[in-house]
């Protein structure tokens, strides 16, 4: 309840993150990323989340997945897909240096389409590639591009041929996942899709949760821990 002292302490901390100090103040550091007050302010109502916030949050999800009882999660950087789609496997080969992505259960690929965030999820247990767009656009070509990447990565890194016919590609429909009701919440939707998926939980939130999720994310990023 809002009368809970812990809740009040969190609220005042979140407000302070938005309102006091300079834009360039550093509020959090982890995953080779530095988050400033200016970055945190993109979490204010109707703000557009930037790459730093997206990548930091993905880092928190990966960190949590190392705990007992969670699927093993790998997350690509937000710049990965645009680089892959403009070059090919060759262009992003070094991105997984020293990592076997196939040792994970779930791979998250946050995607920035000019002015919109979406999420692609590879489930290596189920052999599925699913595309999540809170504006309901289809991403079948994106799924295909990533499957081709997986084929080449598997061949190159493990010398194993992927059997493409075993894989299912699917763009989630508007009746399958919640949809945003404004022009600015796509980044929060992507973070929360990723949060629920990385816990193997059904996606049950609604657009009404967005203001709360934004404030919660401020606290989580500052404290580098997911609530």
Q: What is the pLDDT of residues 18-33, one digit of tens each?
A: 988 889 999 899 999 9
Number of Cβ within a 10 Å radius of residue 226? 17
* Active-site option among 104, 112, 133, 191: 133
In a domain, 29, yes or no: yes
Confidence of residue 227 (pLDDT cuts 50, 70, 90): confident
pLDDT tens sequence across 186-220: 999 999 999 999 999 999 999 999 999 999 999 99
DSSP 135: T
Verdict on whether the full-model pTM lies above 0.85 = yes
Active site residue 186: yes
pLDDT of residue 80: 95
pLDDT for the residue 49: 95
- Please indicate, yes or no, if residue 104 is contained in any of the structural domains: yes
Question: If DSSP codes are grouped into helix, strand and coil, which group holds residue 66?
Answer: coil
Catalytic site includes residue 133: yes
In the prediction, which pLDDT does 130 show?
98
CATH code for the domain of 138 = 3.40.395.10
pLDDT in tens, 112-130: 988 899 999 999 999 999 9
Residue 181: inside a domain: yes
Domain contains 134: yes
CA distance 114 to 167: 28
Question: Residue 5: is its pLDDT beyond 80?
Answer: no
Does residue 2 form part of some domain?
Answer: no
**Taking residues 158-164, what's their average pLDDT?**
91
Q: Measured between alpha carbons, how far is 28 from 13 in angstroms, rounded to an integer?
A: 13
pLDDT of residue 11: 86
**19: in domain:** yes
What is the largest distance, in Å, between two alpha-carbon atoms of the chain?
A: 58
Is 143 among the catalytic positions?
no
Residue 1 scores a pLDDT above 60: no
What is the per-residue pLDDT for 3? 62
Which of 39, 112, 186, 195 is labelled catalytic? 186
Evaluate whether residue 206 is within a structural domain: yes
Residue 121 lies in a domain: yes
pLDDT-derived band of residue 141, with 50, 70 and 90 as boundaries? very high
Q: What is the residue range of 73's domain? A: 8-223
Q: Comparing C-alpha atoms, which of 115, 119, 107 is closest to residue 190?
A: 119
Per the structure, the count of domains in the chain is 1
Q: Which of 116, 123, 170, 209 is catalytic?
A: 116
Residue 161 pLDDT:
92
Q: Which two tokens mark 213?
A: 């999720």
């Amino acid at each position: 309840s809002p009368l809970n002292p812990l809740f009040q302490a969190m609220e005042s901390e979140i407000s302070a993150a938005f309102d006091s100090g300079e834009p360039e103040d550093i509020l959090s550091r982890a995953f080779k990323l530095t988050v400033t007050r200016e970055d945190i302010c993109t979490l204010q109502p109707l703000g557009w989340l930037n790459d730093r916030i997206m990548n930091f949050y993905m880092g928190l999800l990966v960190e949590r997945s190392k705990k007992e009882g969670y699927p093993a999660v790998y997350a690509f950087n937000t710049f990965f897909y645009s680089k892959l789609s403009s070059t090919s496997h060759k262009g992003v080969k070094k991105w997984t240096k020293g990592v076997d992505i196939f040792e994970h259960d779930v791979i998250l690929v946050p995607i920035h389409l000019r002015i919109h965030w979406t999420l692609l999820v590879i489930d290596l247990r189920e052999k599925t590639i699913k595309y999540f767009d809170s504006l309901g656009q289809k991403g079948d070509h994106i799924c295909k591009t990533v499957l081709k990447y997986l084929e080449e990565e598997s061949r190159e890194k493990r010398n194993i041929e992927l059997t493409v016919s075993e894989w299912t590609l699917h763009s989630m429909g508007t009746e399958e996942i919640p949809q945003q009701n404004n022009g600015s919440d796509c980044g929060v939707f992507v973070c929360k899709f990723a949060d629920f998926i990385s816990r193997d939980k059904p996606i049950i939130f609604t657009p009404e949760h967005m203001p709360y999720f934004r404030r919660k994310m401020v606290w989580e990023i500052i404290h580098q821990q997911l609530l």
